[in-house]
């Protein structure tokens, strides 16, 4: 029997805050509520973090990094068929979303509460990620592997379909993350594959 090592205090704070942000929303979660959930005095929580936005920043940018890493791994072999790369990119996206449903939901819905430069940077990253998918689909069209009259529309449809996952995925459900990834890739690619 193996045991997971205990979480560091910072990881405990992030985990608890993410669950609260998911359950109540970022704006409706106070530092006092977070401290209570952690069994801390509100004042001592500030010795670990400056603000709840610091946690939101870590969640949002940490997942963004994971999404880009997954896409990079999926497209690393430029000699692979575009359809294969797209399938792997879809599956990689699903694996990030299913790793931590609460964090994924916070990433998808609470990023709007990032302020200043972090908000702008997040939007730039989101656009870059969408662009990477769109360009992959465009390359597939050019190579004769994919068919769609509008690569931008196909990209938005694909990402919207995938990003709905945290709303219904349950880790204790019948399907494993890999099975869900495979099924979603099959379903979404069916409309894009040529012939």
Q: Write the pLDDT tens digit of every residue in 33-56.
A: 999 999 988 788 888 888 999 999
Q: Is the pLDDT of residue 75 over 60?
A: yes
Is it the case that residue 151 has pLDDT exceeding 80? yes
Q: How many CB atoms lie within 10 A of CB 118?
A: 17
Q: Which of 77-81, 83-87, 166-170 has the lowest mean pLDDT?
A: 166-170
- Residue 44 has what pLDDT? 83
Give percent of the chain with pLDDT exceeding 70.
95
Mean pLDDT calculated for residue range 102-130 = 97
CB 113 within 8 A of CB 56: yes
**Confidence check: pLDDT of 20 > 90:** yes
Of residues 152 and 44, more confidence is placed in 152
Whether the pLDDT of residue 3 is over 70: the answer is no
- Give me the mean pLDDT over the 3-29 stretch: 87
Spatial separation of the C-alpha atoms in residues 94 and 126, rounded to whole Å = 16
pLDDT at position 90 over 90: yes
pLDDT value at residue 6: 66
Question: Phi and psi of 63, rounded to 5°?
Answer: -70, -40
Show the 3-state SS of the chain: CCCCCCCCHHHHHHHHHHHHHHHHCCCCCCHHHHHHHHCCCHHHHCCCCCCHHHHHHHHHHHHHHHHHHHHHHHCCCCCCCHHHHHHHHHHHHHHHHHHCHHHHHHHHHCHHHCCHHHHHHHHHHHHHHHHHHHHHHHHHHHCCCECCCCHHHHHHHHHHHHHCHHHHCCCCCCCCHHHHHHHHHHHHHHCCECC
Domains of the chain: 52-190 (1.10.357.10)
**Residue 4 reports pLDDT greater than 70:** no
pLDDT of residue 195: 60
> Is 57 within 8 Å of 106 (Cβ atoms)?
no
pLDDT surpasses 70 at 12: yes
Mean of pLDDT over the chain:
92
- Residue 17's contacts (CB-CB under 8 Å, 6 or more residues apart) are 29, 34, 52, 55
Question: What's the pLDDT band for 15 if we cut at 50, 70, 90?
Answer: very high
Classify residue 78 as exposed, middle or buried by CB count within 10 Å of its CB (0-12, 13-18, 19+): exposed
- Cβ atoms within 10 Å of 23's Cβ, excluding its own: 11
Q: How confident is the model at residue 69 (pLDDT cuts 50, 70, 90)?
A: very high
Closest CA to 132 of 109, 108, 158: 158
Q: Residue 136 has what pLDDT?
A: 97
């Amino acid at each position: 029997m193996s045991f997971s090592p205990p979480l560091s205090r910072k990881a405990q704070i992030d985990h608890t805050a993410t669950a609260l942000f998911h359950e109540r929303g970022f704006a409706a979660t106070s530092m006092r509520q977070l401290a209570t959930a952690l069994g801390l005095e509100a004042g001592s929580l500030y010795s670990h973090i400056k603000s709840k936005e610091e946690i939101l920043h870590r969640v949002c940018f940490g997942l963004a990094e994971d999404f880009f890493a997954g896409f990079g791994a999926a497209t690393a072999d430029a000699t692979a068929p575009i359809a294969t790369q797209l399938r792997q990119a879809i599956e990689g996206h699903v694996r990030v979303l299913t790793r931590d449903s609460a964090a994924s939901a916070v990433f998808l819905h609470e990023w709007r509460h990032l302020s200043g430069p972090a908000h702008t940077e997040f939007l730039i990253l989101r656009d870059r990620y969408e662009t990477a998918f769109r360009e992959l689909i465009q390359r597939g069209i050019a190579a004769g592997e994919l068919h769609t009259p509008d690569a931008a529309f196909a990209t938005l449809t694909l990402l919207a379909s995938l990003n709905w996952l945290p709303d219904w995925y349950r880790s204790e459900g019948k399907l494993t993350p890999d099975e869900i990834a495979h099924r979603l890739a099959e379903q979404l690619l069916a409309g894009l594959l040529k012939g």
